[in-house]
Amino acid sequence: MGKMSVELCGIKLDNPIIPASGTFGYGYEFAELYDINVLGSFSFKGTTKDARFGNPTPRIAECTAGMINAVGLQNPGVDKVISEELPKLKQCFNKKVMANVSGFSVDDYAYTVEKLDGEDQIGWFEVNVSCPNVHGGGMSFGTDPSAAAEVTRAVKAVTDKPIIIKLSPNVTDIVSIAKACEEAGADGISLINTLLGMRISLKTKRPIIANTMGGFSGSAIFPVALRMVYQVSKAVNIPVVGMGGVSSAEDVIEMMLAGATAVEIGAANLVNPYICRDIIAELPSVMDKYGINDLSEIIGGAH
Protein backbone atom coordinates (compact mmCIF):
# COMPACT_ATOMS: atom_id res chain seq x y z
CA MET A 1 0.00 0.00 0.00
CA GLY A 2 1.26 3.51 -0.83
CA LYS A 3 2.38 5.94 1.87
CA MET A 4 -0.40 8.36 2.79
CA SER A 5 1.25 10.33 5.61
CA VAL A 6 2.14 14.00 5.17
CA GLU A 7 3.68 16.65 7.41
CA LEU A 8 1.79 19.89 8.03
CA CYS A 9 3.80 22.67 9.69
CA GLY A 10 6.01 20.14 11.47
CA ILE A 11 3.18 17.87 12.66
CA LYS A 12 2.75 14.46 11.04
CA LEU A 13 -0.67 13.44 9.72
CA ASP A 14 -1.47 9.78 9.00
CA ASN A 15 -3.23 11.01 5.86
CA PRO A 16 -4.02 14.44 4.37
CA ILE A 17 -7.80 14.35 5.02
CA ILE A 18 -9.17 17.06 7.33
CA PRO A 19 -12.91 17.79 7.72
CA ALA A 20 -13.36 21.54 7.34
CA SER A 21 -14.50 23.88 10.09
CA GLY A 22 -18.23 24.39 10.39
CA THR A 23 -19.06 21.00 8.85
CA PHE A 24 -17.79 18.70 11.60
CA GLY A 25 -18.86 20.38 14.84
CA TYR A 26 -16.41 19.61 17.65
CA GLY A 27 -15.86 16.06 16.42
CA TYR A 28 -17.74 14.03 18.99
CA GLU A 29 -20.99 14.32 17.00
CA PHE A 30 -19.35 12.38 14.15
CA ALA A 31 -17.64 9.98 16.58
CA GLU A 32 -21.09 8.48 17.15
CA LEU A 33 -21.07 7.40 13.47
CA TYR A 34 -17.50 6.10 13.02
CA ASP A 35 -14.03 6.11 14.60
CA ILE A 36 -12.86 9.63 13.74
CA ASN A 37 -9.26 8.66 14.57
CA VAL A 38 -8.97 7.49 10.95
CA LEU A 39 -8.79 11.20 10.00
CA GLY A 40 -5.55 13.10 9.51
CA SER A 41 -7.04 15.76 11.78
CA PHE A 42 -10.09 18.04 11.67
CA SER A 43 -10.77 21.73 12.01
CA PHE A 44 -13.33 22.36 14.72
CA LYS A 45 -16.23 24.78 14.58
CA GLY A 46 -15.29 28.44 14.18
CA THR A 47 -14.72 29.83 17.67
CA THR A 48 -14.98 33.47 18.75
CA LYS A 49 -14.21 35.38 21.95
CA ASP A 50 -17.88 35.61 22.96
CA ALA A 51 -20.83 33.30 22.36
CA ARG A 52 -22.71 33.94 19.11
CA PHE A 53 -26.27 33.00 18.25
CA GLY A 54 -25.51 33.48 14.55
CA ASN A 55 -27.58 35.01 11.78
CA PRO A 56 -31.40 34.97 11.57
CA THR A 57 -33.07 32.06 9.77
CA PRO A 58 -33.43 30.86 7.07
CA ARG A 59 -29.66 30.35 6.84
CA ILE A 60 -29.38 27.64 4.16
CA ALA A 61 -30.34 27.58 0.49
CA GLU A 62 -29.74 24.70 -1.91
CA CYS A 63 -28.40 25.24 -5.41
CA THR A 64 -27.08 23.20 -8.31
CA ALA A 65 -24.00 21.22 -7.21
CA GLY A 66 -23.77 23.05 -3.91
CA MET A 67 -25.38 25.08 -1.16
CA ILE A 68 -25.37 28.58 0.29
CA ASN A 69 -25.08 29.13 4.04
CA ALA A 70 -25.18 32.18 6.28
CA VAL A 71 -24.93 30.53 9.70
CA GLY A 72 -22.90 33.45 11.06
CA LEU A 73 -20.32 31.71 13.26
CA GLN A 74 -22.80 30.37 15.80
CA ASN A 75 -20.70 29.02 18.69
CA PRO A 76 -20.68 28.97 22.51
CA GLY A 77 -17.63 31.25 22.85
CA VAL A 78 -14.05 30.34 23.71
CA ASP A 79 -14.55 29.78 27.46
CA LYS A 80 -17.32 27.22 26.90
CA VAL A 81 -15.30 25.57 24.12
CA ILE A 82 -12.46 25.05 26.61
CA SER A 83 -14.65 23.94 29.53
CA GLU A 84 -17.27 21.85 27.69
CA GLU A 85 -16.44 21.03 24.05
CA LEU A 86 -12.75 20.09 24.20
CA PRO A 87 -13.11 17.64 27.14
CA LYS A 88 -15.78 15.75 25.15
CA LEU A 89 -13.55 15.80 22.07
CA LYS A 90 -10.61 14.40 24.04
CA GLN A 91 -12.64 11.29 24.86
CA CYS A 92 -13.09 10.33 21.20
CA PHE A 93 -10.10 11.79 19.31
CA ASN A 94 -6.49 11.05 20.23
CA LYS A 95 -4.69 13.18 17.61
CA LYS A 96 -3.88 16.87 17.33
CA VAL A 97 -6.85 19.00 16.25
CA MET A 98 -7.00 22.26 14.33
CA ALA A 99 -8.62 25.18 16.17
CA ASN A 100 -10.53 27.46 13.82
CA VAL A 101 -10.65 30.99 15.25
CA SER A 102 -12.55 34.06 14.06
CA GLY A 103 -12.93 37.59 15.35
CA PHE A 104 -14.31 41.09 14.82
CA SER A 105 -11.14 42.96 15.73
CA VAL A 106 -7.42 42.19 15.83
CA ASP A 107 -7.65 42.03 19.63
CA ASP A 108 -10.48 39.49 19.38
CA TYR A 109 -8.34 37.13 17.32
CA ALA A 110 -5.35 37.45 19.66
CA TYR A 111 -7.52 36.98 22.78
CA THR A 112 -9.12 33.77 21.49
CA VAL A 113 -5.86 32.24 20.26
CA GLU A 114 -4.12 33.07 23.55
CA LYS A 115 -6.98 31.47 25.51
CA LEU A 116 -6.82 28.27 23.43
CA ASP A 117 -3.02 28.14 23.37
CA GLY A 118 -2.81 26.14 26.62
CA GLU A 119 -4.92 23.27 25.27
CA ASP A 120 -2.55 20.35 24.55
CA GLN A 121 -4.75 18.77 21.93
CA ILE A 122 -4.65 21.83 19.67
CA GLY A 123 -1.90 21.34 17.10
CA TRP A 124 -2.54 24.27 14.77
CA PHE A 125 -4.61 27.43 14.69
CA GLU A 126 -6.60 28.02 11.51
CA VAL A 127 -7.28 31.75 11.66
CA ASN A 128 -10.33 32.62 9.62
CA VAL A 129 -10.02 36.03 7.96
CA SER A 130 -12.49 34.97 5.30
CA CYS A 131 -16.04 34.50 6.57
CA PRO A 132 -18.38 36.04 3.98
CA ASN A 133 -21.57 36.17 6.04
CA VAL A 134 -20.66 38.05 9.23
CA HIS A 135 -21.03 41.80 9.32
CA GLY A 136 -18.00 43.71 10.57
CA GLY A 137 -15.50 40.88 10.88
CA GLY A 138 -13.93 37.93 9.18
CA MET A 139 -13.81 38.80 5.50
CA SER A 140 -13.14 42.49 6.09
CA PHE A 141 -9.69 41.40 7.30
CA GLY A 142 -9.22 38.83 4.54
CA THR A 143 -9.76 41.14 1.58
CA ASP A 144 -6.91 43.51 2.41
CA PRO A 145 -3.24 42.40 2.53
CA SER A 146 -2.24 44.81 5.32
CA ALA A 147 -5.25 43.89 7.50
CA ALA A 148 -4.62 40.15 7.02
CA ALA A 149 -0.96 40.69 7.91
CA GLU A 150 -1.93 42.63 11.03
CA VAL A 151 -4.10 39.74 12.26
CA THR A 152 -1.27 37.30 11.46
CA ARG A 153 1.27 39.27 13.51
CA ALA A 154 -1.15 39.61 16.45
CA VAL A 155 -1.86 35.88 16.73
CA LYS A 156 1.77 34.90 16.15
CA ALA A 157 2.68 37.05 19.17
CA VAL A 158 0.56 34.97 21.58
CA THR A 159 1.35 31.37 20.56
CA ASP A 160 4.25 29.19 19.43
CA LYS A 161 1.87 26.79 17.69
CA PRO A 162 1.62 26.93 13.88
CA ILE A 163 -0.68 29.62 12.50
CA ILE A 164 -2.53 28.80 9.28
CA ILE A 165 -4.41 31.77 7.79
CA LYS A 166 -7.67 30.87 6.02
CA LEU A 167 -8.23 33.09 3.00
CA SER A 168 -11.29 34.30 1.12
CA PRO A 169 -11.72 33.72 -2.64
CA ASN A 170 -13.85 36.88 -2.84
CA VAL A 171 -10.88 39.02 -3.84
CA THR A 172 -9.19 40.16 -7.05
CA ASP A 173 -5.68 39.03 -6.09
CA ILE A 174 -5.49 36.22 -3.53
CA VAL A 175 -1.74 35.78 -4.09
CA SER A 176 -0.85 39.22 -2.70
CA ILE A 177 -2.86 38.51 0.46
CA ALA A 178 -1.21 35.10 0.93
CA LYS A 179 2.25 36.64 0.50
CA ALA A 180 1.44 39.40 3.01
CA CYS A 181 0.44 36.73 5.56
CA GLU A 182 3.63 34.76 4.88
CA GLU A 183 5.76 37.88 5.37
CA ALA A 184 3.92 38.59 8.65
CA GLY A 185 4.92 35.15 9.95
CA ALA A 186 2.13 32.76 8.93
CA ASP A 187 3.21 29.10 9.05
CA GLY A 188 0.65 28.04 6.45
CA ILE A 189 -2.27 29.18 4.31
CA SER A 190 -5.64 27.45 3.92
CA LEU A 191 -7.97 28.20 1.03
CA ILE A 192 -10.55 28.66 -0.20
CA ASN A 193 -13.39 29.64 2.04
CA THR A 194 -16.81 29.97 0.39
CA LEU A 195 -17.63 32.18 -2.57
CA LEU A 196 -20.33 34.79 -2.07
CA GLY A 197 -23.70 33.78 -3.53
CA MET A 198 -27.46 34.10 -3.19
CA ARG A 199 -30.79 32.57 -4.21
CA ILE A 200 -34.17 34.25 -4.77
CA SER A 201 -37.49 32.52 -4.13
CA LEU A 202 -39.77 32.65 -7.15
CA LYS A 203 -42.79 32.32 -4.83
CA THR A 204 -41.99 35.22 -2.50
CA LYS A 205 -39.76 37.06 -5.01
CA ARG A 206 -37.38 37.76 -2.13
CA PRO A 207 -33.92 36.40 -1.22
CA ILE A 208 -34.23 32.96 0.36
CA ILE A 209 -31.58 33.60 3.01
CA ALA A 210 -32.50 36.13 5.70
CA ASN A 211 -28.98 37.55 5.40
CA THR A 212 -29.64 38.05 1.63
CA MET A 213 -26.26 36.54 0.68
CA GLY A 214 -24.16 33.71 2.03
CA GLY A 215 -21.23 31.43 1.40
CA PHE A 216 -21.51 29.24 -1.71
CA SER A 217 -19.85 25.84 -1.31
CA GLY A 218 -20.02 22.37 -2.82
CA SER A 219 -18.58 20.58 -5.84
CA ALA A 220 -19.43 23.48 -8.19
CA ILE A 221 -16.61 25.59 -6.71
CA PHE A 222 -13.86 22.96 -7.06
CA PRO A 223 -12.25 24.39 -10.25
CA VAL A 224 -12.02 27.87 -8.68
CA ALA A 225 -10.51 26.43 -5.50
CA LEU A 226 -8.01 24.33 -7.46
CA ARG A 227 -6.88 27.36 -9.46
CA MET A 228 -6.34 29.46 -6.33
CA VAL A 229 -4.48 26.68 -4.49
CA TYR A 230 -2.23 26.33 -7.54
CA GLN A 231 -1.55 30.09 -7.69
CA VAL A 232 -0.90 30.54 -3.98
CA SER A 233 1.26 27.42 -3.53
CA LYS A 234 3.49 28.59 -6.39
CA ALA A 235 3.89 32.02 -4.78
CA VAL A 236 4.61 31.13 -1.14
CA ASN A 237 7.19 28.95 0.63
CA ILE A 238 4.86 27.73 3.39
CA PRO A 239 2.41 24.80 3.27
CA VAL A 240 -1.03 25.24 1.73
CA VAL A 241 -4.16 23.44 2.91
CA GLY A 242 -6.54 23.12 -0.03
CA MET A 243 -10.33 23.02 0.14
CA GLY A 244 -13.40 23.93 -1.86
CA GLY A 245 -15.74 21.42 -3.46
CA VAL A 246 -13.62 18.36 -2.68
CA SER A 247 -15.82 15.25 -2.68
CA SER A 248 -13.72 12.28 -3.87
CA ALA A 249 -10.30 10.67 -3.53
CA GLU A 250 -9.54 11.85 -7.08
CA ASP A 251 -10.29 15.44 -6.01
CA VAL A 252 -7.82 15.04 -3.13
CA ILE A 253 -5.06 13.90 -5.51
CA GLU A 254 -5.83 16.81 -7.85
CA MET A 255 -5.66 19.31 -4.97
CA MET A 256 -2.31 17.91 -3.87
CA LEU A 257 -0.93 18.09 -7.41
CA ALA A 258 -2.02 21.75 -7.41
CA GLY A 259 0.11 22.31 -4.31
CA ALA A 260 -1.93 21.32 -1.23
CA THR A 261 -0.07 19.53 1.58
CA ALA A 262 -3.38 18.57 3.23
CA VAL A 263 -6.96 18.72 1.98
CA GLU A 264 -10.07 19.85 3.85
CA ILE A 265 -13.53 18.53 3.02
CA GLY A 266 -16.49 20.75 3.88
CA ALA A 267 -19.92 20.72 2.24
CA ALA A 268 -19.59 17.04 1.29
CA ASN A 269 -19.78 16.17 5.03
CA LEU A 270 -23.28 17.64 5.11
CA VAL A 271 -24.37 15.45 2.18
CA ASN A 272 -22.69 12.25 3.39
CA PRO A 273 -21.41 12.22 6.99
CA TYR A 274 -19.16 9.24 6.16
CA ILE A 275 -17.44 10.95 3.19
CA CYS A 276 -14.08 11.59 4.90
CA ARG A 277 -13.85 8.02 6.18
CA ASP A 278 -14.78 6.69 2.73
CA ILE A 279 -12.25 8.90 0.90
CA ILE A 280 -9.47 7.72 3.24
CA ALA A 281 -10.46 4.11 2.50
CA GLU A 282 -10.47 4.79 -1.27
CA LEU A 283 -7.16 6.69 -1.43
CA PRO A 284 -4.86 3.60 -1.62
CA SER A 285 -6.63 2.20 -4.70
CA VAL A 286 -6.71 5.62 -6.40
CA MET A 287 -3.00 6.07 -5.65
CA ASP A 288 -2.35 2.65 -7.14
CA LYS A 289 -4.42 3.50 -10.22
CA TYR A 290 -2.26 6.56 -10.97
CA GLY A 291 1.08 5.04 -9.97
CA ILE A 292 1.50 7.12 -6.80
CA ASN A 293 3.63 5.49 -4.07
CA ASP A 294 3.89 8.41 -1.64
CA LEU A 295 1.38 11.27 -1.36
CA SER A 296 3.96 13.66 0.06
CA GLU A 297 5.95 13.35 -3.18
CA ILE A 298 3.11 14.63 -5.40
CA ILE A 299 2.55 17.95 -3.56
CA GLY A 300 2.78 20.67 -6.21
CA GLY A 301 3.50 18.08 -8.88
CA ALA A 302 1.47 19.99 -11.49
CA HIS A 303 3.67 23.11 -11.22
Residues ≥6 apart with Cβ < 8 Å to 296: 3, 5, 6, 7
Kindly give the residue spans of alpha helices, DSSP state H, lying in 163-274. Answer: 174-183, 222-235, 249-258, 267-271
Cα–Cα distance, 302 to 236 (Å, whole number):
16
Determine contact, residues 155/113, Cβ cutoff 8 Å. Answer: yes
Using DSSP, how many helices (H) and how many strands (E) does the chain show?
11, 13
Determine contact, residues 230/302, Cβ cutoff 8 Å. Answer: yes
Cα–Cα distance, 55 to 208 (Å, whole number):
13
The helix-helix angle for 174-183 and 145-156 (nearest 10°) equals 30
Task: Catalytic residue, from 9, 131, 181, 276: name it.
Answer: 131
How many CA within 13 A on the CB side of residue 102?
A: 34
Q: Would you call 181 a catalytic residue per the annotation?
A: no
Query: What does the DSSP 8-state code read for residue 68?
Result: E
Q: Among all residues, which ones are annotated catalytic?
A: 131
